[in-house]
Amino acid sequence: MFQMGGGVAPEDQLDKTETRRVMGRVVRMAAPFRRTAYAAVGCVVITTSTTLAAPILVRHGIDSGIRVRDLLQLNLSVGLYLVLAALAYTFGRMQYVFLNRTGESFLRELRLKVFAAMQSQSLAFYDRNKAGVLIARMTADIETMGELIQWGLLQFLASGFLVVLALGVLFILSWELALVVLIVFPVIVIASVKFQRDANTAYLSVRERVGQNLGTLQEGIAAVRIIQAYAQEEAQIKRFEKSNRSLFDSHVRSIRISTWYFGLVEFSGVIATALVVGIGGWLVHRDTVSLGTVVAFILLLSSLFDPVQQLSQLYNGVQSAAAALHKLFAILDATPEVDEVPDAVALPNRGDIAVSGVGFTYASGIVPALQDVDLIVRDGERIALVGPTGAGKSTLAKLMSRLYDPTNGTVTYGGINLRQSTHASLRQRIVVVPQEGFLFNGTIRDNVRLARIEASDAEVEAALERLGVLAHFERLPEGLDTEVRERGTRLSAGERQLVALGRVALVDPAVLVLDEATSNLDPGTEAEVESALERLMQGRTTIVVAHRLSTVRRADRIVVVDKARIAEVGTHGELVALGGKYAALTRAWEKSHAV
């Protein structure tokens, strides 16, 4: 049976119009699977019809068989009843098969589309959305959709059809007894309205707590090394316990609401049955209705009250699923901030990078990260960006590699505005190497080939050979086929960075953007990574976000970024002689490294 899932965050609660719009979009998206959906609906109609026909056969068997002692009519009723039971069983199983096939097909396509949409988003999207929340979209929200599509829609169709036909059959059998049954209906209607309101509020809280709990769980797993390094396991357990308790309390509140409502519906059914038995017996005594009619009424009551209960429950299911879909559709409809324009052009093989009047503010920020920045990086030049933490040097590097687009101003490469470039040529010409090389679960060879999926084994080996690190990996027991495990935990930090540099060599870009790729390495591997980097930088334009001044001296020019602006530009000697901000940074660095 379909069970109610969570709701949505209060700000995402949908009105009826928005719910209809979202569900209408679902219907359009499910159009490719309409054949199996139509087959499922047909099976629902047949199964429901057999459910309603069974009490009528019982009535016939009692009135035309048992009461008048007509064995032929009794046997006919029994035989037809068995045929109906067989039909109900057969088409009942078929409706589950068809509906689940339709639902799973739809969910498969939905997961694929949402994941593809996430992959196409720019970094600003991930600045706004936490990883735990996005995971909740792909898990809890789609699971809610799965419950609705696979079980909820089936019950919605069957219950709606049952209520309408059952009422019609009751009035056809006996309008007097039908009116008796309707006496308890106002109670059911009032209780259903209250249940929908209270349950929707409760399920809203559940969905919100689900996202928070998943976020806490995701952080606890992703940051396990930091947690253990500072012996904060107990604190994190308490943090998760608090989040988990909040989710538990929300579920308990939703269960309490369901308990009183379903109990009331069941009690109303008992009252209706008692009234039908009592008044029906009196009518039988007066020969107004037959005994078979009273029995049929009692059997049909379950076909009336159970569907009403299920429809009330499904109302919130639809609301919950619609809100979940609203969030998923928001991801599908989101336009990447860094997008490719329709008439995009390929970037040239070489060229200067020009930053003109650039300003930038992060979506979540108030203070600009950069203001009025002008800079030209000549083809083949090595530039170092230095400055205090938060000055804007990393932001400038991200803009020059178009991980973000500037709020105002332009960044050009070879005279072409990066906004006008194709993504393929941009990522082929300009490659960013982060501080830590992220590795996927797989082999070393697979992780290098990630940069160019179509690359051959020979090309992968040649890229590592150009860096002078092929022999290092071949000394491993399994060579390049060594499994690195999740996040590359089987390799050292230096080896992970060497694999990341191998990816760059495989792409062979014109411009390197380095976020101090040796800052987190131990001395044993730093020298090897430095050597590989030096080989990689030969003949290429290089932009280094320098966190240590030892890296800076090898640059052709040094750009000092301070308070979101470029403060100084020059060589190491020129800036030291100037006696400004760079000279102060140099003195501070030398003092911290003095023996």
| CA atoms of 540 and 527, how far apart (whole Å) | 21
| CA atoms of 203 and 216, how far apart (whole Å) | 20
Instruction: Judge if 10-333 and 353-592 fold alike in CATH terms.
Output: no
With tokens 């800052």, the residue in question is 519
| CA atoms of 173 and 170, how far apart (whole Å) | 5
Residue 339: DSSP 8-state: -
What the block records as the tokens of 410 is: 């332009």
For residue 377, the tally of other CB atoms under 10 A from its CB is 22
For residue 534, the tally of other CB atoms under 10 A from its CB is 12
SS3 for 422-433 is: CHHHHHHHEEEE
Residue 438 — left, alpha, or beta (φ > 0 → left; ψ -120 to 50 → alpha)? beta
| CA atoms of 276 and 263, how far apart (whole Å) | 20
| CA atoms of 193 and 196, how far apart (whole Å) | 5
What the block records as the tokens of 422 is: 């194709």
Considering only the C-alpha atoms of the chain, give the largest distance between any 2 of them, rounded to a whole number of Å: 120
Beta bridge partners of 375: 355
Provide the residue ranges of all domains of the chain, joining segments of one domain with +: 10-333, 353-592
CATH of domain 353-592: 3.40.50.300
Residue 195's alpha-carbon distances to 158, 198, 204, 206, 263, in angstroms, are 21, 5, 14, 16, 12
For residue 320, the tally of other CB atoms under 10 A from its CB is 28
State phi, psi for 593 to the nearest 5 degrees: -105, 10
For residue 511, the tally of other CB atoms under 10 A from its CB is 23
What the block records as the tokens of 318 is: 């639809």
CA 371 to chain centre: 35
Rg of the chain (C-alpha set): 35
**Side chain identity at residue 129, one-letter code:** N
Stretch (H or E) spanning 479: none
56, 61, 85, 58: which is closest to 71 by C-alpha? 61
Superfamily of domain 10-333: ABC transporter type 1, transmembrane domain (1.20.1560.10)
State phi, psi for 453 to the nearest 5 degrees: -60, -30
> Burial level of 569, CB count in 10 A (0-12/13-18/19+)?
middle
Per DSSP (E only), the strands in 267-381 are 353-360, 370-377
The answer to whether the beta carbons of residues 24 and 224 sit under 8 Å apart is no
Per-residue pLDDT of the chain (595 residues), as tens digits, is: 333 333 334 444 556 677 677 777 777 877 788 788 888 888 888 888 888 888 888 888 888 888 888 888 888 988 998 998 999 899 988 888 888 888 788 888 888 888 888 888 877 777 777 777 788 777 777 777 776 766 666 677 777 778 888 888 888 888 888 888 888 877 877 887 787 777 767 776 776 787 788 778 878 887 887 888 778 888 888 888 988 898 888 888 888 887 887 788 778 878 888 888 888 888 888 888 888 888 888 888 877 777 777 776 676 667 667 777 777 888 888 888 888 888 999 999 888 999 999 999 887 667 888 999 999 999 999 999 998 888 888 899 999 999 889 999 999 999 999 999 998 899 889 998 877 777 888 888 888 888 888 889 899 999 999 988 888 888 888 888 888 877 777 888 888 888 889 888 998 899 999 876 666 666 667 778 888 888 888 889 999 988 777 678 888 999 999 988 999 999 988 988 998 888 888 888 777 665 4
| CA atoms of 441 and 460, how far apart (whole Å) | 18
| CA atoms of 404 and 447, how far apart (whole Å) | 25
